[in-house]
Structure 1
Amino acid sequence: MQLIDIDKTRYRKHLKIVFIGCAISLAVGSLALSQTLIALFPDESGSHFHWNLLGVVVSAATVGWLLNKYRRHDFMREVTYVWELKQLLNKITRKMPKLEAAAREGNRNAMLAMQYSYAGSRFVWQLDDNTLTLDALAIKQHELDHLAEKFNLTLSVTDFDEQMLAAF
């Protein structure tokens, strides 16, 4: 997955719409379904937990299905891209201790994965206005740059391929 430029304003606007739409759909869908089931099948004991739970589960499954169905729609392009990028960054983060150990030994693929992680994290954090940890990221980037220089390597995020992570 290559890092691409995203219009931050469009991304934030569409993310907000998707988030609010999901929240409203979950609330309205859950209440409508559970209240309909309660009216159709009342419980003499007054406990309607199972109907409420069923309403929530069906609404959540429906919202998930709709998000998956429309994930390739133009409106969802940026939201889906960032979501998939965050998943990949999470996968890299889980392997980071092994990547760091391999990078100290001069493993180019480990350093490429780390470079991609740092660049991707910086990109996502700037999109989400989460700039509090950028200083710590800059320190890690400097350490990686020093390591790459030590082993005479040039690191480019365009050289990263997710398949490289299988070795770690």
Structure 2
Amino acid sequence: MTLEQIDKTRYRKHLNIVIVACIAALVVGSLGIARVLILALPSDSGSHFHWNLLGVVVSCIAIGFALKRVEHHPFMTEVVYVWRLKQALNQITRKLRKIKAAAEQGDVQAMHALQFNYAGSRQLWQLDDNTITMDELAISQAQLDTLAERYNVEADASRYQSEYLKQL
């Protein structure tokens, strides 16, 4: 994955629309399905928990299929990009201890992975207005810059390959 510049206002607007649409679909779908099932197959005990649960599960699956189907639509470009960026950063975070240890030993790919992690996190936090931990990120970036200078490496986020994580 490569980092891309995206329009923050367009991203926020589209994300909010997607969230509201998903919530509305979940409410209408789950209540509608549960109501139809309750009318078609009433329970003698008066408890309809299982039909309500089934309505929620079916609605969630339908929403997932719908999102998968429209993910390539231009409206979803920014939302899908951020979703994939979060997945990529999560993969790195799960192996962060090993990546940092490899970077300490001078592993160039590890330094690229760390640079991607820091640049992607910075972008993500700015898009979501979550700038509370930016100071910690700056410290980690400074440590990476020191390592890169020690090993005479130019850490480059664009050179990060997710296949590297499979080797760790």
TM range, smaller chain: over 0.9
Q: Following TM superposition, by how much is the alpha carbon of 1:164 offset from its aligned partner in structure 2, in angstroms?
A: 1.6
**What is the alpha-carbon distance in structure 2 between the residues aligned to residue 87 and residue 158 of structure 1?**
17
Deviation at 1:119, TM superposition (A): 0.3
**Rounded Cα–Cα distance in structure 2 between residues aligned with 1:32 and 1:148:** 58
Tell me the equivalent position of 1:9. 9
Q: How far apart are residue 46 of structure 1 and its match?
A: 0.2
Q: CA deviation at 1:94?
A: 0.5
- Which residue is 2:75 aligned to? 75
Structure 2 length as normaliser, TM-score?
A: 0.98
Structure 1: gaps (5+ residues): none
Amino acid at match of 2:60: A
Counterpart in the other structure of 2:125:
125
Give the 5 Å matches for 1:1-168: 1-168=1-168
Aligned-partner Cα distance in 2 for 1:40–1:160:
55
Deviations 1:102-136 (A, max 9, x none): 11110000111000000000000000000000000
Mapped partners of 2:5, 2:112: distance in 1:
20
CA distance in 1 between counterparts of 2:127 and 2:69 reads 25
SS at match of 2:44: coil
Moved more, 40-49 or 125-134: 40-49
The two structures have a TM-score, normalised by structure 1, of: 0.98
In structure 1, what is the Cα distance between the partners aligned to 2:22 and 2:56?
A: 12
| SS of equivalent residue, structure 1 residue 131 | coil
Q: Distance in 2 between matches of 1:142 and 1:5?
A: 23
Matches of 1:72 and 1:126, distance apart in 2: 24
- 2:154 is matched by which residue type in structure 1? T
Q: Distance in 2 between matches of 1:79 and 1:99?
A: 28
Q: SS state of the match for residue 100, structure 1?
A: helix
Consecutive unaligned residues of structure 2, counting only runs of 5 or more, are none
Query: What's the RMSD between the two structures over aligned residues?
Result: 0.7
4+ long deviations beyond 4 Å? none
Secondary structure of 1:60's match? helix
Q: Which amino acid aligns with 2:166?
A: A
C-alpha offsets along residues 17-63 of structure 1, whole Å, 9 cap, x if unaligned?
Answer: 00111011101110011011111211111011111111011100000
